[in-house]
Structure formats: structure tokens, C-alpha cells
Structure 1
Amino acid sequence: MKRGDIKPGDVVRYTPSRDHCREGMAWAIRPRGRQVLVDTYWNVGVDSHVLTDEEIATAEVVFNTNDFHELPRYDRGTPDQWKRYAPKDRETISAQRGLQHRYFVRKGASEDWDTIVANARDYADECAADAEAAVRRGKLALDELERVLAQRQEATGE
């Protein structure tokens, strides 16, 4: 990709020239009338790194925000709402090494029942696995209790 290939709203993955405070994801914005790609590590603000020509050469477009609408940024339910859309209809922009996300859904997309059912099935499987792990931990704890009680009996005669 070259600087002239950048379209407003493009979101790209790229290889940063350094790892410190870089997300490896950038968003095309137009501050002061000039089209630039800014790394999303600091979200998109005054401290954001503007990609160099060398970094732009490694960039690949992931999606364009003009084809999507952003879900509410600070609503706790946004990640769950976003997961109700088919994977082909949803995208994210990450910041802070993936600790923060902005959630986008393709314009005109509807919630997808196959995705909703698959998510519910995955959650049920995860809960079942957690329950099995809890039973194993409980058994280990009871075994440890028996061991400690036996040691106490041996040491004290009680």
C-alpha cells in the first residue's frame, strides 16, 4: 500500500517500526485536511503515531468505517450486542494492546440467529467445562484436607 492508496475511514493492520506504544492497527483520518493513518494504541488522539511510508508499505486494509456504524462506545452491553451479528458483519478497532475496543457493525446488517445460537452453545460448553473443573478442584481440596487431617493425627495423636 502507498500513501495515495489510503481512503478516508480505512482501518489497516501493519507492521510497526517499533513495538512500544504501537497497536499494529491504524485508522485513516483527515486532520487539518491531510489524509493520514494513525496507530490506534492511544485510540485516535493527539498522541497517536502517524504511520511512516515504510509502515504504510506493510499495511493491509481490514475494513472501512464508512461501510459500518459504530455501536455505543461506553455501554457495558456493547460487546454482547456486537456478538449477535455474523462475523462477516462485524469488526473492531483495538487500542492498548487489545484491552480496549471500538465495535462496528456493517450498515444494513441484522442480528444473525445462527451466530446467536452458536454463541449460546459456546457459552453453555464453557460453563460445563468450568463446572467440571470446579468438581476436580473440589476433589483435590478434599484430598488435601484428608492428608492434612492425617498428618495432624500422626503428629498430635488426636
Structure 2
Amino acid sequence: MKNDRICVGVLAGAFGVHGEVRLKSYCAEPTDIADYGPLWSKDGSKSYQVTLTRPIKNGFAARVSGISNKEDADAALGVELFADRDALPSLPDDEFYHADLIGMIVQDTGGQELGRVKAVHNHGAGDVLEVLGPGMRTGALLPFTRAAVPTVDLASGRIVADPPEGVFPESENDASEPS
């Protein structure tokens, strides 16, 4: 496995004036974020103990070790929280951590490389893989459904895709650039 830690949430600023923070959980069961501690900063230099105090719009109010006032909470805005992989539950065969998908090679069903997964997005209608390939200026958005992505092989770092028509334009590289 390529990542020892998985991003499970982010601090979204102060909640009140007494050191509570707004916390957005990326966990399938949002309250589980408090059970995966200690949580770590992206570079691993800081650890955090998290205690959820109450649900709020788009997340939770929480107490986080090392944050004791509004100024500390404001300064922590945007801090991503990472859990040790071994603290997270094992997933069924048809579920994946987003971090494991990023960077994987995407091939069509004929074996032609389409690109690599740049990001995984979810805007409410299901996961979408952003795939960036050679000569592409912007990433193609591939629905992460069984029909569009029949095979994910974590061991080989490869995804086989059967993309809907138009996801990967045939002539994207053929567009004439102005002289």
C-alpha cells in the first residue's frame, strides 16, 4: 500500500470564541473521525486528539488538542487531518480509499493508456475520477461506476475503464492552436 496515512477530514476554522473548531469529516460514517486518533498534519509533524462536541451544518464542532482559543482555531483553517492506515477499517473488495486511486494508470478496455487519476471528486451524485492524460489541458471526468470502471487492480496500480462516449474526446490533441 502506497500511503501510510489517509486524509479523513479538515479543520474549517473557528466555531465560537472558546477554542472550538469547525471540522469537516470525509469518513463514510462522519462521527468515526474521532475514533481514528491520533490524527496527523499532512507532513506528520503535529498530532491532534479530536473530541466531537456537537453536529453543526456541514460538519461538527470539535475540541482539538493544541487549539485553545479562537486565534488558534482561525490559524488552523484548512489543516488536513490524516489517520494512520492501520487505524482505519478494512474495506470490502468493491470499495477503495480515494488516496489509493490517485496516481493509478487508467486504460481503456483495449489496453490503451488514457491517463492517470489526478483526483477523486464527489459533488453529491457519486464519485468521479479526474483523469489527466498526455496532451490534455484539463482532466476528463470519468464516472466511478461499475459500468464505466469495471476493474480496479490496486496491486498493479491499474484501472480499466469503459468510458461513456465523449468523456475522452478523440481529437483533443488535434485542436489547432492560433499562430
Shorter-chain TM band:
under 0.3
Compare the two structures and name the one with the higher helix fraction: 1
Under a length normalisation based on structure 2, what TM-score does the superposition of the two structures give? 0.26
Compare the two structures and name the one with the higher strand fraction: 2
Under a length normalisation based on structure 1, what TM-score does the superposition of the two structures give? 0.28
